[in-house]
């Protein structure tokens, strides 16, 4: 199956669409209605209220919207991955890996605030990767700051991705204080307009939009399925590191910096859920984008197809068994 996606044949998109549906069929058979948490932003709360009114008691709208988001994000990741030439030849392996990675945990099948902002973050990551020797760097930084600010309206701890923005300046650009300040300005602009709007309406209640910030350990249900999913995240990631090290001397400098930025993206996505942590694993879907990018190397670089073939079969069997278990326990 991975061989189908090793080329840039557009037919792979159609195969990928139906393949992704099969890998999360349980989410359509027993739709889960998402519940907004206190750490979620006001736009996500408003979105769920609107969807509740539209759905008329039917929960199918939530997995449908969730999968549309996942599929479009997979294609976005694929386009930007090859735009920055992170591997030599175009293919659909990053999109395949994103579909696989987001199917490893039932919490990642759901429509969540973090799944929504993955679309913004993929766009922002594309901007940050394009900073290398870019004459329009200040404009890119400003726009990326706005993206991070808007993302925090759906999931407030996403404001922490300003660390990734600063890291992109350090990795991609010479040190320049004005560029740092422009990035910060971009993040604050959405809040400026938000507070101006609430002030003009005579409803000055900042606590409604900015929750109290704290750090805690997010709890999640530690089952054999959860540990199995974590194992299938980490093993391909570690193998990917081996392939990157073997080919790093052949990469252009901007490509090396691109992989370094992806690593910082992954670390940021793993740490941000500790801000206002909750008892749900859904917020770690933020890490699915960089994990998928690294996993794509495992399917791309090996000359012999045994390793990617076995890995793909193990992941698919695990995901299908997980679907069966979810349906059985529903």
Indicate whether 285 pLDDT > 80: yes
Predicted confidence at residue 9, as pLDDT, reads 82
Percent above pLDDT 70 for the chain: 92
Please tell me which residue, 298 or 214, carries the higher pLDDT value: 298
Structure confidence at residue 220 (pLDDT): 64
**pLDDT for res 206:** 65
Asked if the model's pLDDT at residue 213 lies above 80, the reply is: no
Asked whether residue 287 is assigned to any structural domain, the reply reads yes
pLDDT of residue 272 exceeding 70, the answer is yes
**H helix runs in 92-223, sequence order:** 93-101, 113-129, 137-154, 162-172, 177-200
DSSP string, 64-81: HHHHHHHHHHHHHHHHHH
Phi-psi region of 205 (alpha: psi -120 to 50; beta: other; left: phi over 0): beta
Instruction: State the burial class of residue 86 (Cβ atoms within 10 Å of its Cβ: 0-12, 13-18, 19+).
Output: buried
List the structure tokens of 179: 């560029």
Regarding predicted confidence, which is higher, 310 or 213?
310
| pLDDT digits 0-9 by tens, 132-145 | 888 898 999 999 99
Give a yes or no: residue 132 inside a domain. Answer: no
- Distance in angstroms (rounded) separating the CA atoms of residues 220 and 285: 13
Best CA proximity match to 285, nearest among 164, 163, 95, 111: 111
pLDDT tens, residue by residue, 145-167: 999 999 999 998 899 999 999 99
7: alpha, beta or left, given left = phi > 0 and alpha = psi -120 to 50?
Answer: beta
Q: What is the pLDDT of residues 113-128, one digit of tens each?
A: 999 999 999 999 999 9
What per-residue confidence (pLDDT) applies to 214?
A: 63
Within 10 angstroms of residue 237's Cβ, the number of other Cβ atoms is 19
Residue 12: pLDDT band with limits 50, 70, 90: confident
Residue 328's pLDDT is 83
Residue 88 confidence (pLDDT):
81
Read off the pTM: 0.93
Q: What confidence tens digit (pLDDT) does each residue in 52-67 have?
A: 888 776 788 999 999 9
What is the per-residue DSSP string for 79-128? Answer: HHHHHTTSSSS--SHHHHHHHHHTTSSGGGGS--HHHHHHHHHHHHHHHH
The domain total for the chain is: 1
Are 142 and 190 contacting, i.e. CB atoms less than 8 angstroms apart?
A: no
Within a domain: 18: yes
Q: How confident is the model at residue 217 (pLDDT cuts 50, 70, 90)?
A: low
Residue 39 lies in a domain: yes
Backbone φ and ψ for 300, nearest 5 degrees, come out as -95, -45
pLDDT of res. 277: 63
Reply yes or no on whether the pLDDT at 293 is more than 90.
yes
Residue 201 domain-assigned (yes or no): no
Domain span at residue 268 reads: 2-119+216-329
pLDDT surpassing 90 at residue 288: yes
Q: What is the pLDDT of residues 223-239, one digit of tens each?
A: 888 889 999 999 999 99
Q: How large a percentage of the chain has pLDDT more than 90? A: 52
């Amino acid at each position: 199956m991975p061989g189908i996606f090793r080329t840039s044949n557009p037919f792979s998109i159609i195969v990928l669409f139906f393949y992704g549906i099969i890998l999360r069929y349980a989410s359509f058979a027993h739709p889960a209605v998402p519940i907004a948490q206190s750490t979620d932003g006001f736009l996500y709360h408003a979105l769920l209220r609107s969807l509740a009114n539209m759905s008329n008691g039917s929960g199918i709208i939530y997995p449908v919207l969730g999968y549309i988001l996942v599929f479009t994000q997979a294609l976005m990741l694929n386009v930007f991955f090859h735009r920055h030439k992170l591997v030599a030849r175009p293919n659909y392996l990053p999109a395949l890996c994103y579909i696989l990675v987001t199917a490893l945990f039932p919490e990642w099948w759901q429509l969540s605030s973090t799944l929504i902002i993955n679309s913004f973050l993929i766009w922002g990551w594309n901007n940050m990767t394009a900073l290398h020797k870019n004459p329009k760097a200040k404009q890119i930084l400003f726009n990326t700051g706005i993206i991070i600010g808007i993302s925090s309206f759906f999931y407030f701890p996403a404001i922490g991705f300003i660390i990734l923005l600063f890291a992109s300046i350090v990795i991609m650009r010479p040190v320049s204080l004005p560029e740092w300040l422009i990035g910060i300005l971009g993040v604050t602009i959405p809040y400026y307009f938000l507070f101006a709007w609430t002030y003009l309406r005579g409803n000055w209640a900042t606590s409604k939009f900015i929750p109290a910030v704290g750090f805690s350990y997010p709890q999640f249900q530690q089952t054999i399925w959860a540990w199995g999913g974590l194992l299938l995240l980490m093993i391909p990631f570690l193998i990917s590191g081996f392939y990157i090290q073997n080919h790093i001397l052949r990469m252009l400098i901007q490509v090396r910096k691109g992989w370094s930025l992806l690593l910082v993206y992954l670390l940021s996505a793993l740490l941000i859920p500790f801000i206002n942590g909750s008892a749900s694993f859904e917020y770690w879907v933020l890490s699915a984008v960089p994990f998928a990018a690294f996993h794509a190397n495992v399917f791309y670089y090996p000359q012999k197809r045994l390793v990617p073939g076995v890995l793909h079969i193990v992941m698919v069997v695990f995901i299908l068994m997980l679907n069966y278990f979810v349906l059985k326990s529903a």
